Amino acid sequence: MSNIVVAGAAGRMGRQLVQAILERTDVTLAGATEQAGSPHIGTDVGLLVGNETLGVPVSAGIETVAASYDTIVDFTAPANTRALVAHAENTGKRLIIGTTGLDENDQQLITAASAKTALVYAANYSVGVTLSLELLQHAARVLGSPYDIEIIEAHHKHKVDAPSGTALAMGQAVAAGAGRDLNKCAVYAREGITGAREDGTIGFSTIRAGEIIGEHTVLFCGQGEQLEITHKATDRMTFARGAIRAAAWISTQPNGLYDMSDVVRPAD
């Protein structure tokens, strides 16, 4: 049984994570946090998700959680995630990271912390997206350089980073399959007289509108044919359920850094 604290529990994703915990019998909601000064501090988290009281008040940060817990699930913001990575490294608490917009330095911090605890860090916790990353790498390997690759992603207007973490993960997957370095071949913007497309590049296009939950399409365009691999999320609960699945899974894992492919991989 994994005892879980949800960081940012009053937020859009935090409430979904709380609900995903309540759906399962192999995990327990041990705590919930929000930033100091939040109007939700002290509120029973059950009331935030439309349930009756659960006896779990929202705490002002991880250091104020009084209950015993072993795993933190974090879909907040980079600054808060950095603090939680340090906390996990110092205390040995397990950590599930779904925050987007983390940079290379953040990833180095996460890797360093994995020597002292177990972490799952994934750009997307959907099982379908996890499978699509494997399909994309295989497609890029088979199709090779004659095919132009474009990644199109769409999200709601509230999303603050672009391209999405999932789009970047897809870019890494197709670059690996095609034997390219994404840092050298990615094209993130086109405007004005750009000239003809340069062979070997991987293009990204970003859409931000309305309440689109998340849509990703990768185009492989060759002579006389076009292959599209698309994933569309229709309910945010798919991400929350995947993250809580990861939290249950990591409770039995040794120290190390894992991603969602490790979580869904069949046991030997």
**Mean pLDDT (whole number) for 68-75:** 97
Look at residue 101 in the predicted model and tell me its pLDDT: 86
Average pLDDT value for the chain: 95
What is the model's pLDDT at position 27? 97
Catalytic residue of the set 159, 184, 216, 232: 159
Mean pLDDT (whole number) for 52-63: 94
CB 147, CB 221: distance < 8 Å: yes
Q: What percent of the chain has pLDDT over 70?
A: 99
Which residues, other chains included, contact 216 with Cβ-Cβ below 8 Å and sequence gap of 6+? 129, 132, 151, 152, 153, 154, 164, 166, 167, 170, 230, 231, 232
The mean pLDDT value for 67-75 works out to: 96
Predicted pLDDT at 144? 86
CA dihedral for 248, 27, 51, 61, sign (positive or negative): negative
Return the pLDDT at 145: 86
Q: Which position has the token pair 């972490």?
A: 119
| Those residues with Cβ within 8 angstroms of residue 195's Cβ, 6 or more apart along the chain or in another chain | none
For residues 240, 156, 190, 174, the Cα torsion angle rounded to the nearest 10 degrees is 20
Tell the residue number behind the tokens 């192999």, with chain if given.
Answer: 26
Tell whether the model's pLDDT for residue 268 goes beyond 70. no
Distance CA 174, CA 180 (A): 8
Looking at residue 214, its pLDDT comes to 95
Range(s) within the chain of domains with CATH label 3.40.50.720:
2-121+236-264
Q: Is residue 116 annotated as part of the catalytic site, yes or no?
A: no
Confidence at 265, pLDDT banded by 50, 70, 90: confident
Per-residue pLDDT for 169 more than 70? yes
Catalytic: which of 40, 155, 216, 231?
Answer: 155
Structure token pair of residue 261: 């492919």
Q: How confident is the model at residue 44 (pLDDT cuts 50, 70, 90)?
A: very high
Q: Identify the architecture of domain 2-121+236-264 in CATH.
A: 3-Layer(aba) Sandwich (3.40)
**Superfamily of structural domain 127-233:** Dihydrodipicolinate Reductase; domain 2 (3.30.360.10)
For residue 82, is pLDDT > 90?
yes
Q: What does residue 112 show for φ and ψ, rounded to 5 degrees? A: -65, -40
Tens-digit pLDDT profile for residues 226-244: 999 999 999 989 999 999 9
Q: Tell me the per-residue pLDDT of 101-115, one tens digit each, with 9 for 90 and over.
A: 899 999 999 999 999
Q: Assess whether pLDDT exceeds 80 at residue 162.
A: yes
First to last CA, the chain: 22
Reduced to 3 states (helix: H, G, I; strand: E, B; else coil), residue 216 is strand
Cβ atoms of 3 and 70 within 8 Å: the answer is yes
Model pTM score: 0.85
> Which residues make up the CATH 3.30.360.10 domain(s) of the chain?
127-233
Question: Distance (Å, rounded) from C-alpha 48 to C-alpha 62?
Answer: 19
155 is catalytic: yes
